[in-house]
Amino acid sequence: MCRYFFFVLFFPAAFMNLLLIQTQPADLTQYLLAGYIVAAFPAAAVALADELFAGAGDAARATRCGLIGLILSPLAMALFEGVDPWRMALTACCGGLAAFLCTVAFIQLDRPHRVTAPAAA
């Protein structure tokens, strides 16, 4: 459950920050609220993919989750009319990058902290 909370909390923020220059919103508050609602679905899907690929290596896991974000992020933007293919491609790149970065961050946070014993003299 912690995984889903992490991704739903941080993926939309990273996704919207990457898209901020592209969208140039007039009202930042409405942009943030709408962005969290729109990006919650890809975030939950990336969290599910991360859970499914948990047994893979770190690089493979992050890459696969990045590909899931690359595919699903434009689908969220496709709900809006008048989005041209160039913006869809930028959205896909931003979603893939955000998914990759969130997965790498979660992998680092999820690792157990290793405590090593002091070396014997």
Residue-range domain boundaries for the chain: 2-109
* CB environment 50-60: b (16+ within 10 A), e (fewer): beebeeeeeee
Report pLDDT for 1. Answer: 75
Query: Does residue 100 register a pLDDT over 70?
Result: yes
> 9-13, 40-44, 54-58, 83-87: lowest mean pLDDT where?
83-87
Of residues 44 and 91, more confidently modeled: 44
Q: Is 108 exposed, middle or buried (0-12, 13-18, 19+ CB in 10 A)?
A: exposed
Residue 101: HSE in the Cβ half-sphere, 13 Å Cα cutoff: 14
- What is the pLDDT averaged over residues 50-77? 91
pTM attached to this predicted model: 0.82
- What is the pLDDT averaged over residues 97-106? 94
Query: Does residue 118 register a pLDDT over 80?
Result: no
